[in-house]
Structures are given as C-alpha cells and as structure tokens.
Structure 1
C-alpha cells in the first residue's frame, strides 16, 4: 500500500479525536495493526473472490453531512423504531424511536460511552484489516440494550443512506446486547446514489441465555458502491441467532457473519441470497464456531449470477474438541445464466470432536430446461416461468428468518431482477456446470 494511504487515514483518525469518548487509544491500536498487516488483496485466501484494490490504492475521504434530507426507502409496514443514518451520521430528524425507548435502552454510540468511558473496551477491535479500519475510523452508530425478559415484537429498522457523497467512506459501528430471555428483530438496510462510495459496517452482538436475535442485512447500494459488512455474535445457552443476508446492490458487496456458540443448546441459523448482475461481485463469508457440546447451526445460501456476474460463498464451521453432540449443516446452491457467469463455493468443516453430525454441500447449475419447457407448454409465459423457478430456488433461504412483510418485498425485488433479464436464452442441458457432491461427517 502506498504511504499516502496510511498518511491520509492517520489524519482522519486525528480528526476523530474525542468523538467517541474513550476510543482514541483503541483507534491507535487498531491502526498500528493495519500498518503491520496491510489491507487484503486477492492473494489473501479469504479475499480471493473480491478485489479491494480501490481501497488499497487511494484512501477514501470521510463522508460529509448531506445537504438535503433523502427519501427513506419503504421496507415493512410496522416497526418498533426507525433509526436513520445519512452519510454515516445519525439523523435525529429522520429517525423515529416510537415506544421502544420505554422498553429498552437505545442511544447513539457517542452517548453510550460518555458516562463511562471504560466501557469502550467492550468494542471489538477485530483481527483483519477491514474490521480494524472500522475500529480506527468509526464515528457513529447505535447501542441497543434489551433488558431480560423483554420481547420486542416489531422489527427495529436501521437505514444507512448515502447521498451526494462522492468518493467517500463511512464506518458505522452498532452494538446489540440482549438480556436473558429477550427477543429483538433488527433489519439493516443499505442504499445510496450512483457515487463510488464505500460502506464499511460492523455490528457486534451478545445474545444472553434464552434470548433470540433475528438480523437482516439487506444491501441495495448504488451501482458504483463498495460494501463490506460484518456481524460478530456470541450466543449463550439456549439462545439463538437468526440471520438473513440479501445482496442485490453495489458494484462489489461482501457480508461476513462470525458466530460463536458458547452455551449448550445454542443455535445459529444463517441464510443468504445474492443476485449478481453483469459486472457485479457478491461475496458471503460465514464463520461458525461450536465451542461447547450440544449446539446446532444451519446455513442455507442461494446465489444467482447473470452474464459476467460473480458470486462466492465461503462457509466454515469449526467444532472444538469439547463440542460433542454438535449438529451443523451448510447448503449452498447457485444458478448461472450462461458460461460467463461465475459462482464459487468453498464450504469447510474443521472438526476436533468425535460425536458430531456435520454436513455440507455445494451445487452450481442453470435453470432446468425441462422445467421451463413444462411450464411454457402449459401456457405460462417464458418470463413468468423463469420468475417462478427462481422464486422457488430462493425460497429455501427466504422463508426461515425474514419477517413476512420484508420477505414479500424481497420476492418483489427478485421478480423485478428477473423481469429485466427476460431475453436470456434457455440453457441447453450440456451447458450445465458440474455439481459438487454433498459431504457428511
């Protein structure tokens, strides 16, 4: 990396001095590690499918406040609260806390640590350069603490909107704490204009005993945007983390889920849908660690690549030596519309226990020619037949975790995405790529 990149980020860190109380030392420690390891390239195993050269070659400027309030995209009809961040800054005017503030603690990141700076040590620093850069440059975010036994039925919406930003970056950091037996549903939505901005978000969460966190990471960034999003979750006994990642927008978008199951009967459900149009790259990474006995995890990811679109899934399940009775599964399936589309899969199992049930499978293919013929021969229009098959293909990953209203909106987005590709030729049987067999341990 050029020295000018480090110099630019060093100045940005200095300009953030005191913004998040108590975080200045944490920033310096993170940046020191970045200098030592550098930002990743395609030579890094975890980044082999996504090129971060725009980030390595020149520093992104910090985004400035928006001159005008943007429109807020509709997501669901009812919400417990709506939190809006415009160009990385929390907008009190556009946000609506509803009645949530009466049931839970909800406050901006800067206010959370103002009364007790020592708690800033609870912020995860990370061990990769992209997360570390978020730690070094975080400016705003939200802290949600749900008391024990409190169940928030309607979802909490977090909108990230970029507008008139130019080549700038934002590094939001959110913290979620669930008390014992509590429940929370969070929907993060990312959108923006045509500028070449970068959103680098991190959400860290602690799910206490018997609590349930449902989380949706929905990327609809502008066509020239770069998106890197991460969630780091620890789950205690009988707790559950349910995740849905949907990636439609951006020029290049990457979502990472890092989950540690720390109590018996803890559960993680991680689902994903990626649609890569021409020139788009969508990358999904999962890292699930079973640290104790009798915990479960299940992953279902569905990907579609148009001509010259690229998707990738890298999923790793680690079962520690003491984690007997683990039940873990991964399922990745991808459709490519022609030979210029690309779907990559790298499922991994790292097992150190003996009494486990673990399996993973990866399949890459094209729309079924026989199924298309069957539907069209019965009067179904070709474009409708394609939409029906794709909707059925993605349903496995959509129905388990997404709220009903949001699931309907995502289905509409998939239908519109397919309608824009109505002229794609029906694949021939001999064009179908190879399938990777399922493995069970």
Structure 2
C-alpha cells in the first residue's frame, strides 16, 4: 500500500494504487503515519464500530493482528467529511477470522472510501468484507480491497462483496478488488456491482400508498442492511443505520 511513501515523507498521489480515486488534494498537511494498532490475542474476540460524521478531512488508519483462533469484527459508517478514508491492514493467524461491514454515503463533491489489505498468513483463516455505497450529487464512494494468501495459507476462505447505489447522475462509486493467491487449496471470491434504485419496487410501493420519499428510504435501508448482517448488536446496528439514513433524509 502507500505506507512506504508516507513514512519517507512523500505525499501520496493518484499514481499510487491505494489512492487512485482519493481526493489527495484535500489531505493538506494531515499526518498519514498515525496508525492505530489492534492486537487480538489467540482465542479472543474483538469488535469495534465507528462513525465518521464530521467536516473537513478525516483519515483513519488501522493495523490489526488477529491471533490463532481469534476473531476481529469492524463495522463502520462514513457519512461525513469532504474527504474521509478508513484504511485497514489485517494479518490473520491460523484459524482466525476477520469481518468488515462498511457503509459510505454522501453527496455534493465529497469522497468517502474504505481501503483494506487482508493478509492470510497462516492456514484455515477466514475473512469476509461487505461494503455498501450510496451517493448522489457529485459524491463519490470507493472500496479498494486487497487479499493476499501466502504459500502456506491452505484452507483459506476469503470473500469481498461491494455494491454501489447511485441516486443521481453525476455521482460515482469505484471498486478495485485484488487477489494475490500463492496457496493452492483456497476459496477466494469477490463481487462488485453498481446500479440505481429498482423502479419496479418503487412503483409497487407507490401503488400501495407509500410516498416517493418513504419508498426510497425503505429501499436504501434494505440495501445498506447487508453491511450489518454480521453485527450481533441490534442497538448498535440501528445506530449506524440511522446515521447513514439521516444523510439521505437531508438529501430528500
């Protein structure tokens, strides 16, 4: 990723793969070498959720080491900032699991993105990443996800699932899934789709008396909900969902 460049004092540009669709001009003098380290010990379970809902530029970088048989779950919403980025580097030990559920929403000329690099360093580890993006105006949502399976990481099971929803012309989403596999007994899958609201579903709802605004909100809620299916905390799931939908309410 772009760590070497930032540590050497060279600011990232769009020529760097991990910053291809970023609003690098918005970085200014923001520090890029401030990493939060998460150590999940063998057999432990760690869960964290976060929300970005401020102004300006917000870049958060996490380095996660997941011990043997351990689980790390991260869930987040990027709903604020002219430019907001969450970057996660994960190293998985034998039999461990990493789960990511992420949502980006926004309009105007904002850019909001998840960038991940998951390394299956030992056998029998699993990972699952689900990211949903809803944008309008000139807003942009990005997901750059890389999965590495080293030669000894047999029985790996890794998946990425990205879907983007464009509410208006001019909005955009970008997905760059990458797989580097050196083991020969693995299951690695990725999927990326981009589309608009289902007009047939909107017509169906309107025929039953729902307003266009409510129909749109219900469809977006169902679309975003996939990102939080693995979050076994209903109250926290609702909090993250409400934050994302509040941006849609402001747009409507």
Q: Same fold (TM over 0.5)?
A: yes
- 1:329 equivalent to 2:159? Answer yes
The structure with the larger Rg is 1
1-structure distance, mates of 2:100, 2:68: 18
- 1:210 equivalent to 2:43? Answer yes
2-structure distance, mates of 1:377, 1:55: 47
Residues 45-79 of structure 1: per-residue CA shift (max 9 Å, x gap) = 211111222445xx46xxxxxxxxxxxxxxxxxxx
Greater share of strand: 2
Contact 2:120 2:150 in 1 (8 A): yes
Structure 1 unaligned residues grouped into runs of 5+:
1-29, 61-128, 135-201, 423-441
Contact 2:118 2:147 in 1 (8 A): yes
1-structure distance, mates of 2:188, 2:62: 23
After superposition, where does 1:298-309 map in structure 2 within 5 Å?
298-309=128-139
- 1:40 equivalent to 2:22? Answer no
Shift of 1:257: 1.1
- 1:249 equivalent to 2:80? Answer yes
Contact 1:244 1:402 in 2 (8 A): no
RMSD (CA atoms): 1.9
Q: What's the counterpart of residue 219 of structure 2?
A: 389
- 1:220 equivalent to 2:49? Answer no
Contact 1:282 1:312 in 2 (8 A): yes
Shift of 1:402: 6.5
Please give the secondary structure, in 2, of the residue aligned with 1:420.
helix
Please give the secondary structure, in 2, of the residue aligned with 1:345.
strand
After superposition, where does 1:32-71 map in structure 2 within 5 Å?
33-35=7-9, 38-56=10-28, 59=29
Q: What's the counterpart of residue 184 of structure 1?
A: none
After superposition, where does 1:171-210 map in structure 2 within 5 Å?
202-210=35-43
Equivalent residue in structure 2 for 1:229, among 54, 60, 64 = 60
Aligned residues: 249
User: Judging changes above 3 Å, is the alpha-carbon distance between structure 1 residues 348 and 377 closer, same or farther for their aligned structure 2 residues?
Assistant: same
Please give the secondary structure, in 1, of the residue aligned with 2:206.
helix
Contact 2:74 2:101 in 1 (8 A): yes
What TM-score, normalized by structure 2, do the two folds share? 0.93
